[in-house]
A and B are shown apart, each in its own frame.
Chain A
Amino acid sequence: MTALRVEHLVVRRGGRTVIDGLDLTAAPGEIVGVVGKNGCGKSTLLMAIAGVLEPTDGRIVVAGASVWGSTRERTRARTALGYVPEGADAPGFLRASELWALCAAARRTTPPSPALIEQLGLDEVAELALERMSLGQRRRACLGAALLGPPALLVLDEPDNGLDVRRLEALVRLLREHAAAGHAAIVSTHDQSLIDQIGARIVPLT
Chain B
Amino acid sequence: MWLSVWTRAVIAPATRRALAVWCGAGIVAAVIFGGNAMAPGDLTGVALHDPAAGAVLAVTWLLLFVPTARIIVRGDGALYLRALPHREWPPRVVATAALVVLQLPWLALWIAGEGVRGLVVVAVVTVPVIALGAWRPRRARARVPHWRGPLRALAGIYVRGLARKAGDALVRGAGLAVLAGIAGSLLVRNNGLDGAHAAALASSVIAVVLVPAVVGLLLPLRDAHRTSAALAASLGISERARIAVLASVVAGVHVLAALIGALIVLAMTHVALVVPVSLATGLGASLLTARVLARARDATRIVVASIVTAAICVVWLGWLGAIGSVFAAVTGLVAVLSTRAG
Contact = CB atoms under 8 A, between A and B. Distances in A.
B82 interface: yes
A79 B85 contact: yes
Interface in B1-21: 1-2, 5, 8-9
Given A91-B8, A91-B78, A50 B85 contact: no
Given A91-B5, A91-B9, A52 B80 contact: yes
Interface string A55-96: 000000000000000010011101101010101111101100
B79 interface: yes
Contact of B1 (A51, A87, A93, A101): A101
Contacts of A74: 85, 88
**Which of the four size classes fits the interface of chain B?**
20 to 34
Contacts of B160: none
B2 A51 contact: no
A142 to B, nearest CB: 9
Interface in A93-129: 93-94, 98, 101-103, 105-107
Given A14-B139, A15-B138, A71-B88, A94 B83 contact: no
B136 interface: yes
Nearest to A93: B8
Contacts of A85: 79-80, 83
A105 B2 CA distance: 8
Among B83, B85, B88, find the residue whose CB has the most chain A CB atoms closer than 10 A: B83
B143 interface: no
Given A85-B80, A88-B79, A102 B85 contact: no
A78 B85 contact: yes
B2 A88 contact: no
Contacts of A76: 85
Interface residues of A, number: 31
A85 B76 CA distance: 14
Interface string B121-147: 000000000000000101100000000
Nearest to A103: B84
Contacts of B83: 50-52, 78, 81, 83, 85, 88, 155
B77 interface: yes
B87 interface: yes
A14 B136 contact: yes
A94 B9 CA distance: 10
B117 interface: no
Nearest to B79: A88
A51 B79 CA distance: 9
Nearest to A79: B85
Contact of B138 (A14, A53, A75, A81): A14
A173 to B, nearest CB: 24
A97 B210 CA distance: 42
Contacts of B85: 74-76, 78-79, 106-107
B5 to A, nearest CB: 6
B208 to A, nearest CB: 33
Contact of B84 (A87, A93, A106, A155): A106
Contacts of A14: 136, 138-139
B86 interface: yes
A53 B80 CA distance: 10
A49 B249 CA distance: 44
Interface in B74-125: 77-88
Interface of B: 1-2, 5, 8-9, 77-88, 136, 138-139
5 contacts: A15-B138, A78-B86, A87-B79, A89-B80, A106-B1
Given A94-B5, A102-B2, 13 more contacts: A14-B136, A51-B82, A52-B82, A53-B79, A75-B85, A75-B86, A76-B85, A91-B80, A102-B84, A106-B1, A106-B86, A107-B84, A155-B83
Interface of A: 14-15, 47, 50-53, 71, 74-76, 78-79, 81, 83, 85, 87-91, 93-94, 98, 101-103, 105-107, 155
Instruction: Please give me the 3 A-B residue pairs with the lowest Cβ-Cβ distance, nearest first.
Output: A88-B79, A106-B84, A78-B85
